[in-house]
Amino acid sequence: MKILLLEPIHNDAHRLLAEVGEVVSVERVDPDYLQSVIADASAALTRGYGRLPRSVLAAGRKLRCVARCGVGTDNIDVQAATELGLPVLYAPGSTTTAVAEHTIMLMLMVARRATRFDREVKAGNWAFRSRAGLGMELGGKTLGVLGLGDIGRRVAELGHAFGMKVIYWSRSSRDNRFQYLERDELLRQADVLSINVALTSETRQLLDRRSLALMKPSAIVVNTARGDVIDEAALYDALASGRLAGAGLDVIAADSPREDNPLWKLDNVVVTPHVAAVTETAFRQMCVETAEQVARILRGAQPDARFVRNPDVLHRLQ
C-alpha cells in the first residue's frame, strides 16, 4: 500500500507508517501534480501546507483515508471527503500546550514591547529605556478569549494564573470557572483579546472593522488561530491610527506573506511565522497520533473516533 506524505513528518511517525505500507514523499503540492500521484495511494497525510481539495480527493480512487498531522483541517475539503466516504484523521489536543504558551508569550511581548527593546539594545541604544514609556502588566487586566476549545481553555487557565480576569465567548463550549459574555460585550471589556476559534465560513473575518471599533484603544489583540479570522486591512488601520494599542500575530491571511505587508512596519505589532505549534513535543505528538490512526485503518481496523474529524463516515468502514 502506498502512503503519500505531502510534507515531512516526525521520524517516529514515519516508522509507524512504514510498517503498513510504502511511504512516499511528494515533490510538489500543486493540485495538478497531486492528482497524478494520489491515484494509487491508500492514504495521504499533510501537515497543513499541502492542501487536499475535492479535485485531488476525487482522483484518489484507492484512498482509504486522508490525514492532517495537527488540529486544524481547513486545508482539507472535509465535506468532499465525507461524500467520498473518506475518514479525515487529525490530532486534537496535540498542540494545546504549545499554542497556549505561545499565545501568552505574544501577549507579554506586545505588552512589554520586548522586540522593540531587543532591537534598540542590539543597535547600541541602551538609553532607549529612558524614553520608551511604560509597559502594561497582564495581572489585573481582563483577558477575553474568543473560542473555548482545548487551546482557548488552556489560554484562559494560563491567563487566570497570571492574575487576569477571564471572560470568554464560544459558540458551544461553556466553563463555569470563567465568565461567558456575548461577543460584542466581550470585545468592549477585553484588555487583551486572544483569538482561538477554528476557521470556518462563520468565523472568516469574524474580527472585522465593526468589531475592532468596539475595543478599547488600550487593548491588545493576539491571534494564534488562523489569519483569515481577522480583517487585516481593518486591523492595520486600527493599529496605525492608535485606535488599538498592539497586536501579536502568529498567523496572517496568507501563509506566504508579501514582504511589503504594512503590518511589518508597525512597532506595536509582534509577528511570528505560524510557529506556535512548532515544538519538539507537539510535533512528535501530532504526527504520531495521526500516523497511529492511519495505520489502524490500513490494517483493516476501526480508528479511534476521537481522532476523526468526520466520524459519520465510520459506519462505512465496517
Does 137 fall in a domain?
yes
Per-residue b or e along 177-216, where b marks 16 or more CB atoms closer than 10 Å to that residue's CB: ebeebebeebbebbbbbbbbbbbeeebeebbeeebbebbb
CATH number assigned to the domain comprising residue 60: 3.40.50.720
Computed over every residue of the chain, the mean pLDDT equals 95
- 255 assigned to some structural domain: yes
Interval 12-26: pLDDT, tens? 999 999 999 999 999
Q: How many whole angstroms separate alpha carbon 39 and alpha carbon 88? A: 17
Q: How far apart are CA 170 and CA 147, in angstroms?
A: 5
Is residue 286 domain-shared with residue 259, that is, in the same domain?
Answer: no
Q: Residue 316 has what pLDDT?
A: 78
Residues 84, 26 within the same domain: yes
Structural domains counted in the chain = 2
**Are 262 and 127 in the same domain?**
yes
Residue 229 belongs to some domain of the structure: yes
Domain boundary, last residue among 267, 289, 305 = 267
* Residue 312: band (very low, low, confident or very high) from pLDDT cuts 50, 70, 90: very high
Is it the case that residue 182 has pLDDT exceeding 70? yes
R_g (Cα) of the chain, nearest Å: 21
Residue 20 cell numbers, joined: 503498513
Asked if 98 and 279 touch (Cβ cutoff 8 Å), the reply is yes
Residue given cell 480527493 in the structure block: 57
Domain residues for the domain of 298 are 2-93+280-316
- Residue 199 has what DSSP assignment? P
Q: How confident is the model at residue 318 (pLDDT cuts 50, 70, 90)?
A: low
Of the candidates 23, 13, 4, 8, the residue with the CA atom closest to the CA atom of residue 287: 13
